[in-house]
Amino acid sequence: MIDSFSDADIDSFGRDGFLIIEQDFIPEETVMLLRERFDELFAGSYATGIAPDEVNWVRGRDPETKTRQICNGWKADDLIAAQVLSQQSGRLAAQLAGWEGVRIVHDNCLWKPPGARSLGMHQDGSYAGYVDPPEMITVWIALDQTFAQSGTIEYVAGSHKWPKMPPSRGDFHDPDDWLAPVAAAAPAGASTECTPVVVQPGGAAIHHSRVFHGSGINEAEIDRRALVTHMIPSNAQFDSVGVDPIYTRYRRRGDMTMDESYFPILWDQAGGRSEWLASLPPLAGAAGGG
């Protein structure tokens, strides 16, 4: 498992806006356990008794070709939480971002079975207007082998240096042209070539909040599952004006601080974490999970 990044890794992240870790970001035992928890989560079985903040796919309600997405699955399952809120992810993300510490803003549990449709290209930072500062860094962990044809996440290198675009008003799930936002945003002469993330189960990618990314149709014969942690600086607060229809519900009236019950600190330079994270169960083979 990775403990820290080299200067070359940090330089690569600064140049491209993302860094790919081909294997062993998390161990095989943890991958297998998280797959089991995905089965329960997407079946609507919530171990904590608390529903996730967003459930964008329900069996029997939504088409099988729609990419399955749950946001803040960590609230529904403590084993999912143990990975999403891991010290390792927080420490490594902070190193690449150059921040003194990080806290979670939300997670994504993503599942693309064979034939599942695309997710449109976007910049995460476009949707962070309810946070001050509106900056994010994301750790994306593969729970399956990924291929260019399996609907894996794809990045446009260097696009984090482009202007930040407003949130898409189109359909994020299965748009007519999932690459169209990149063509619309690219400055004159900029490359729009995509880099697919091809990694082993347990491999990962970390990306900047302004790098364009999305995923095409899963044309392979295997599932493509991923667990994603979106992080913000540990000193971030709610924006006093910008709101999100879901996550601003956790903002107290007249108080812009972010409650650590819902936005816990994963790591800071002093080695600190929100105290309640110590109560999370350990993950098999994982370091710093709880």
How much is the average pLDDT of 77-93? 97
**Mean pLDDT, all residues of the chain:** 94
pLDDT tens track for 136-161: 999 999 999 999 999 999 999 999 99
Q: Which helix (H) or strand (E) holds 199?
A: none
Q: Report d(CA 117, CA 12) in Å as an integer.
A: 30
pLDDT tens track for 181-222: 999 999 999 999 999 999 999 999 999 999 999 999 999 999
Q: Give the pLDDT confidence score for residue 169 in this predicted structure.
A: 65
Domain borders along the chain are 7-253+263-270
Burial 117-139 (b: 16+ CB within 10 A, else e): bbbbbbbbbbbbbbbbebbbbbb
Q: Which of 16, 13, 19 is nearest to 193 (CA)?
A: 16
Q: What percent of the chain clears pLDDT 70, i.e. is strictly above it?
A: 97
How much is the average pLDDT of 93-104? 98
How much is the average pLDDT of 123-134? 96
Contact 34, 49 (CB under 8 A): no
Contact 32, 175 (CB under 8 A): no
Does domain 7-253+263-270 sit in CATH 3.30.420.10?
A: no
Contact 81, 241 (CB under 8 A): no
Q: Give the pLDDT confidence score for residue 221 in this predicted structure.
A: 95
Q: Give the pLDDT confidence score for residue 202 in this predicted structure.
A: 98
State in Å, rounded, how far the first CA of the chain is from the last one.
Answer: 16
Tokens of 173: 């799930």
Taking CA atoms, 10 is separated from 91, 177, 231, 262, in Å, by 13, 32, 17, 29
Q: Which of 230, 242, 283 is nearest to 97 (CA)?
A: 230
